[in-house]
Amino acid sequence: MKGIILAGGSATRLRPLTWVTSKQLLPVYNKPMIYYPIETLVKAGITEILVIVSPEFAGHYLNLLGTGKDFGAHFSFVVQPNPGGLAEAFLYGKDFVDDDDVTLILGDNIFDHDFSSQIKNFKGGAKIYAKEVHDPERYGVVEFDEKMNALSIEEKPKKPKSNYAVVGLYTYDNRVVKFVENQKRSERGELEITDLNNIYLKKGELSVDVIEGIWEDAGTFDSLLRAANLMAEKAKKKGK
């Protein structure tokens, strides 16, 4: 199993902070934001990690992360000149993925859920995760049957069929690159992760696990502050 961290983009919602550096390098309490997804992957046993970065801040990542030895991992880097959808990560990571399975995590997603057993027990197809939220219309939304099997996934629906949002961590078998290569871009010109997940769903090869605990998509001032406060509280509890 290999890992990809998607840390590109311009993060206009966090300007003027992101005039200075990449969103995923902003502090969340006592660590740069990207440390959290790195730790999530390494905790799950993933140590070969590709970090996809934007060109203007590539040097910032190299200076901070280096080879990955400080994390017990090995990092590779690739520059994404322009963001083109989450699934595009697999085109930039094609050579890196090679014949292995892969877990993609978004560089601004912060969890305290331990994905270790789910990732280590992955047997093929695709596995994604969902969490109950109060504003599902902002996310990809999973509709479940009475046995919590996924029936459909819709991207930012006006009338959500459930309150379960897809979070920013996804595990796929190595067919994922081929599927994305044949995927059509959306009306906004992007390779949508929801479309990719629906490919596996239509094949009957997608499983969705519901998670509890902290999940923050730290892409706004409010969610960045909330994530920092949650991580501060968690760190202080550990210190007691």
The reported pLDDT for the residue numbered 138 is 86
Give residue-wise pLDDT tens across range 34-93.
Answer: 999 999 999 999 999 999 999 999 999 999 999 999 999 999 999 999 888 999 999 999
- Computed on alpha carbons and rounded to an integer, the radius of gyration of the chain in Å comes to 17
- What average pLDDT does the segment 185-214 reach? 91
- Name the CATH architecture for the domain at 2-239: Alpha-Beta Complex (3.90)
Between 66 and 147, name the one with better pLDDT. Answer: 66
From residue 72, alpha-carbon distances to 1, 65, 139, 209 in Å are 15, 11, 33, 28
For 197, residues 6+ apart whose C-beta sits below 8 A from its C-beta are 126, 128, 140, 153, 166, 170, 206
pTM: 0.92
Domain ranges of the chain: 2-239
Q: Identify the pLDDT of residue 239.
A: 67
Output the pLDDT for position 41.
96
Chain segment 82-127, per-residue pLDDT in tens? 888 999 999 999 999 999 999 999 999 999 899 999 999 999 999 9
